[in-house]
Amino acid sequence: MPTWRRRAVLTGGALLVVGWTKGAPYLASLRLGDLAFRDLPDLPPFRELISSGALSTEGAIFAGLADSPPADPAILSLRQSVRDDPWTALYGQSHAPAVPIAVFSDFRCPNCRVMDVRLSDIAAEDPAAIRIVRHELPIFGAASVTASRAVLGAKLQGAYREMHDRLIHTPAVTDQAYIRHLAQEMGIDPDRLMRDMQSDPVTTTLRHSRAVADVFGFIGTPAFAIGHTAFMGTVPTSVLRSLIEAEREVL
């Protein structure tokens, strides 16, 4: 393991132990189902969900850490613009009164599939109540990057949602041959898709999402922002509903 990776793992482990030692008594005192928050430093008015009575990161805090390359210089330069206007960086333009939800996911992440179903079920009940903004955060290797580029390339042909739904619910290892096959099934131009996957707009979008994730501390998937509340990991549908309603009251 390269020295920088070893240091990152050791430092992260030490911080996790310290954080748990200091936070455990407080978390243990919470009643099941309580929602507890803390402000995110330098990102007002955003806050972090630290306990829902059922929050599970299931190892997400270290997901992708060992395989993460040094930061792309282009991403480093984007971080300041995210800090200057984190709301727009997360959600784009506002569409009140819908509650905005930013989703950071990897197509090879099983928990991302679980949370996608839960959010989709809520959206189906009242499509105007929430607005889901999806950020591709490929952290599990080349197949994840290919899948992320495929959905963003398909978006340029108006087929983002269909490509997303096909990839998020398939256990297949994604490669360009498989993406080409899906494009043909979907009736979009496979040759154009292959070109668009490597295009500057797609690369720029991926860099933007990576920069937003870095600023908010999302080092694993799934990760979310619901209005002003950010968290990583899985939560039950009931907690999602509670957060959405709480944010609706302050928008």
Confidence (pTM) = 0.81
Predicted confidence at residue 115, as pLDDT, reads 97
Q: Is 201 left (phi over 0), alpha (psi -120 to 50) or beta?
A: alpha
pLDDT band at 112 (very low <50, low <70, confident <90, very high): very high
Q: What is the mean pLDDT of the chain?
A: 83
DSSP category for residue 124 = H
Question: 212-223, pLDDT tens digit by residue?
Answer: 999 999 999 999
Question: 43-84, pLDDT tens digit by residue?
Answer: 999 999 987 655 544 434 333 333 445 568 888 889 999 999
Question: 128-147, pLDDT tens digit by residue?
Answer: 999 999 999 999 999 999 99
Torsion of CA 49, 55, 59, 62, to 10 degrees: 0
pLDDT of 11 above 80? no
Tokens 């709480």 found at: 246
Q: Considering all CA atoms of the chain, what is the largest pairwise distance in Å, rounded to the nearest integer? A: 57
Predicted confidence at residue 178, as pLDDT, reads 96
Give the sheet arrangement for strand 229-232, strand by strand.
36-39, 47-51, 229-232, 223-226, 99-105, 130-136
